[in-house]
Amino acid sequence: MKHFFKMFSGIFIVILLSGCIGESYDYSPPTVTLSHPDDYTQDVTLAEANINWDYDKKYNKETEDIQTLSKEQVPIYLKAGQQVQYLIEDGHFEPNRINVSLLENDSEINLKLEEVESFRLINETGEYTVVFNIESSKGDAQYVGRIVIQ
């Protein structure tokens, strides 16, 4: 009887743990947050502009005028030439390529990404739309925000 109880308990524990091991992953598009290097209370999450998510079509979104969407966002105030950190979180995916650029009226300025999830701003002051484009094996996502360079 003692042997039967131990065997039954062992089988019960294995069955119980197998339910915990079978995780389901969230393959939703990520979120992108810009961090002010001197004031973490100014961290800003960028807005989803255009999402073409192959993994699950329910996330797809299309925005025709990203500059108008940008103007609706809370601005982050930064200094000219300042290094800005970004964080891409949520969702389990492998980014193939990430691009960041600034838009002002009809001109686009591509920024170089640095190794530690950061980029350096241009030295010209003004209000810009920041655009993050992320390509991954799950789909493409574009995020926008508003940056004021002082």
User: Could you tell me the pLDDT band of residue 107, with boundaries at 50, 70 and 90?
Assistant: very high
Report the pLDDT value the prediction gives residue 9, as an integer from 0 to 100. Answer: 59
Whether pLDDT at 23 is above 70: no
Residue 127 C-beta-side C-alpha neighbours within 13 Å? 11
Interacting residues of 122 by C-beta distance below 8 A, sequence separation 6+: 80, 81, 102, 109, 111, 149
Q: Please identify which residue in the block is written with the tokens 């961090």.
A: 35
> Is the per-residue pLDDT at 105 higher than 90?
no
pLDDT score of 78 more than 60: yes
Question: Which is nearest to 145 in space by CA: 21, 8, 34, 63?
Answer: 34
Q: Is the pLDDT of residue 25 over 70?
A: no
Collapsing DSSP to helix, strand or coil, 2 comes out as helix
Residue 17, pLDDT > 80, answer no
The rounded distance, in Å, linking the Cα atoms of 147 and 142 is 16
- Bigger pLDDT: 57 or 133? 133
**Residue-level pLDDT at 115:** 78
Fold of 25-149: Coagulation Factor XIII; Chain A, domain 1 (2.70.50)
Residue 10 has pLDDT above 80, yes or no: no
Phi, psi of 14 (to 5 degrees): -60, -45
Is 60 exceeded by the pLDDT of residue 20? no
